[in-house]
Each structure stands twice: as structure tokens, then as C-alpha cells.
């Protein structure tokens, strides 16, 4: 009997270690201050993802600020998103279901799904464009959900969409036929000056290196009187940027909502309005996902290790996530 129990314990241990080893590789983010989060681990090496970041570095600027060249950053962003966005067995798609929005969404007391939250986030931004005529650009269009939704307001031939990912652009072409979808970096817009009457950018500028470059480009390609509307996520500290390779470097850190508005004004924009909507964006999204993951666990659709993985990911993301903002500005 004793032997039988020992054998089963060994089996269980092997099974748990196997699972943990497999899933630990999918955890997106390991903070440097892991000790203070989980108790001392006596880690004497940096987490592998941090080392990985340094192996891919480009030029190292002064004052310890690390920047990467655009292609290195784009490749890093694409590795993360193309895998997460298209893998039907991956954790993201298991949680967001059939929604093709890839953002945190905008939540009210009545919101019941990620897809609805995605639609609402786009709608609160579009409400900041008073007259919906002329050409519009969907920057960092993701899978094409927002581009498709623009067709309720704009004829297809007036809608442009860009992304750094070829795969996401292919998806956008399918979802929003007739629109102009192109692979392009948001900080290098290949459009003439004064080309668009509006620009929409949902939850992506935190990746751009830098936001300032994007704001300058957005200003250039907008017509006089044109509107830039965007949602964005700030980090809790400059240091956090350097810990997570797919995000741009500390150079892109913005201290506050006021500092964000100031960057827009410095780019030349007026009628700048920046709101902290964290209570409608990150916090309800976080609670929704944590709840859903537990439901999956109780329904037998998610193992204990997978649930731990999701919770780890979301709790550590919570330590990184600062104000979630809604912004609009006019040229």
C-alpha cells in the first residue's frame, strides 16, 4: 500500500512538473521584482525573457535607455501577436472566444462579452469624430474587426488600414473587403501630407517607438481640422517597459495623463482631450478574464496549471498596467 502511494505521488509530481515546465514557457512576462511578488526565490539569474530582450537589442542610447531598431521591435511584436492571435489552441483564443477584437474593450455594467466590449471601445472613440466623411486610417488594425466596423460609417474605398504584421493585414483584407489594407509601420506612414480626415488607433501606441514619432506622422497626414482618436495603455513605470520585449523601450514611457496630452500638443494638435478610463477598460477586463478562467476551470475546460498560468499572466500584467486612456486631438 505504502509503495503504491509513493508510486502515485511520484507520478503526480512528474505530471505537475511536466505541465508546469510546458506552461511556464508560455507565460508572457516575468517581472524583475518577482521576489517581492512571490516571496524570495533566490534567483541569481535574470528571467530568460529579460535576457532574450538584451540579445535582440539594437543601439543602446545614453542614460541606460535601451532602444531597438524598428525591424527588431516589429519582429518581436509580430512573434507575440501573430502567435497569440491565430493559435486556436492558445490561451488567448480560448478566453476571447470568437471575438476578432484584440483589445481590452470598454465595459459598462451591461457588457457581457469581449466582443461587445471591443465594439464599445471603438464606438466611444468614433463618437469623438463629429463628422464622419472623407478618408479614415485605422492604425494597427489587428485582425480587421475595427476596420470592418468602420464600414458602418465610411464607404470601403475611403477606409485605409495598416499594421506591421502581414498575417493581420491578410485577415483585415478578408474582414473588410474593398478597404485599403497595407503592411506599414505607424511611425513611418507612407501617405502624402494632409491625406486623411480622421485617424483611429486602438490600443497600439504603447508599442510604437515612439509615440512622439507616431503623433508627428499622424499630424502630417491629417488634413487641417482632421481628428486623431485613440485608446492607449500607459505603464506603471519606465522600468516596466524594459522588462517586456514586445513593448517599446523606456524611452516611450509617459508619466501621466497630463504628460500624454502635452505630447499631443507638442506635436501641434489642439482641442486635445485625454481621459483616464481605467475603470471602464483594464479593471473590468481583468475581472472578466479572471472570472472566465475560473469558470473554464470548474467546467473542466482548463487545468489547474493552465488556470495558474492565466492568473500569473493577468496579475503580473496588473503590475505593469497604468492608466488606460481615451484621447482625441484635432489638427
Ligand X SMILES: C[S@@+](CC[C@H](N)C(=O)[O-])C[C@H]1O[C@@H](n2cnc3c(N)ncnc32)[C@H](O)[C@@H]1O
Q: Which residues bind ligand X (CB under 6 A)?
A: 77, 81, 101-103, 140-142, 145-146, 162-165, 168, 185-187, 202-204, 207-208
**Complex with ligand X: residue 201 or 310, whichever CB lies closer:** 201
**CB 14 to ligand X: min, Å:** 37
To the nearest whole angstrom, how small is the minimum distance from the Cβ of residue 41 to ligand X? 30
Helices (H), the chain: 2-24, 34-38, 48-55, 70-86, 91-96, 114-126, 145-150, 166-175, 211-221, 238-243, 257-266, 282-298, 304-320
Shortest distance (Å) from residue 183 CB to ligand X: 9
* Cβ atoms of 250 and 65 closer than 8 Å: yes
**Complex with ligand X: residue 186 or 277, whichever CB lies closer:** 186
The per-residue DSSP string of 261-292 comes to HHHHHHTT-EEEEEEE-TTTTHHHHHHHHHHH
What angle in degrees, to the nearest 10, is found between the helix axes of 166-175 and 70-86? Answer: 50
- Residue 233's SS3 state is strand
Q: Which residue of the chain is nearest ligand X when measured via CB?
A: 142
From CA 155, how far away is CA 197, in angstroms rounded? 14
Coil vs helix vs strand at 62: coil
Tell the smallest beta-carbon distance from residue 229 to ligand X (Å): 12
Check if the beta carbon of residue 323 is closer than 8 Å to that of residue 278: yes
Least CB distance to ligand X at residue 81 (A)? 5
Cis peptide bond upstream of 216, omega within 30? no
To ligand X, the closest distance from the beta carbon of 180 in angstroms equals 15
Residue whose C-alpha cell reads 492568473 in the numeric block = 311
CA–CA separation, 33 vs 187, rounded Å?
Answer: 32
Nearer to ligand X, 67 or 163 (CB): 163
Q: Which is nearer to ligand X, 235 or 308 (CB)?
A: 235
Identify which of residues 185 and 308 has a Cβ nearer to ligand X in the complex: 185
User: Bridge-partner residues for 232, per DSSP?
Assistant: 325
Q: How far is the CB of 185 from ligand X (least distance, A)?
A: 5
Give whichever of 186 and 267 is closer to ligand X, judged by the CB atom: 186
CB-nearer residue toward ligand X: 230 or 310: 230
Amino acid at each position: 500500500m505504502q509503495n503504491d502511494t509513493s508510486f502515485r505521488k511520484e507520478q503526480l509530481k512528474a505530471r505537475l512538473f511536466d505541465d508546469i515546465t510546458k506552461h511556464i514557457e508560455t507565460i508572457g512576462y516575468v517581472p524583475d521584482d518577482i521576489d517581492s511578488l512571490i516571496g524570495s526565490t533566490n534567483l541569481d539569474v535574470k528571467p530568460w525573457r529579460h535576457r532574450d530582450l538584451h540579445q535582440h537589442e539594437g543601439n543602446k542610447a545614453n542614460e541606460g535607455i535601451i532602444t531597438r531598431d524598428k525591424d527588431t521591435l516589429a519582429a518581436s511584436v509580430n512573434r507575440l501577436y501573430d502567435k497569440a492571435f491565430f493559435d486556436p489552441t492558445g490561451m488567448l483564443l480560448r478566453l476571447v472566444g470568437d471575438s476578432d477584437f484584440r483589445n481590452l474593450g470598454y465595459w459598462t455594467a451591461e457588457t457581457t462579452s469581449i466582443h461587445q466590449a471591443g465594439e464599445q471601445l471603438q464606438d466611444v472613440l468614433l463618437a469623438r469624430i463629429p463628422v464622419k466623411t472623407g478618408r479614415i486610417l485605422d492604425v494597427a488594425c489587428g485582425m480587421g474587426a475595427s476596420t470592418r466596423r468602420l464600414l458602418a460609417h465610411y464607404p470601403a474605398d475611403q477606409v485605409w488600414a495598416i499594421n506591421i504584421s502581414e498575417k493581420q493585414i491578410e485577415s483585415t483584407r478578408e474582414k473588410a473587403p474593398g478597404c485599403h489594407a497595407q503592411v506599414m509601420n505607424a511611425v513611418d506612414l507612407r501617405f502624402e501630407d494632409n491625406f486623411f480626415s480622421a485617424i483611429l488607433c486602438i490600443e497600439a501606441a504603447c508599442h510604437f517607438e515612439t509615440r512622439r514619432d507616431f503623433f508627428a506622422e499622424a499630424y502630417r497626414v491629417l488634413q487641417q481640422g482632421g481628428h486623431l482618436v485613440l485608446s492607449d495603455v500607459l505603464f506603471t513605470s519606465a522600468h516596466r517597459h524594459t522588462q517586456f520585449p514586445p513593448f517599446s523601450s523606456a524611452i516611450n514611457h509617459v508619466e501621466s495623463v497630463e504628460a500624454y496630452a502635452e505630447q499631443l500638443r507638442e506635436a501641434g494638435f489642439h482641442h486635445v482631450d485625454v481621459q483616464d478610463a481605467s475603470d471602464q477598460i483594464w479593471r473590468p477586463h481583468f475581472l472578466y478574464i479572471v472570472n472566465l478562467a475560473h469558470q473554464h476551470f470548474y467546467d473542466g475546460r482548463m487545468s489547474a496549471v493552465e488556470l495558474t498560468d492565466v492568473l500569473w499572466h493577468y496579475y503580473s500584467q496588473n503590475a505593469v498596467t497604468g492608466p488606460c486612456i481615451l484621447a482625441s486631438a484635432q489638427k
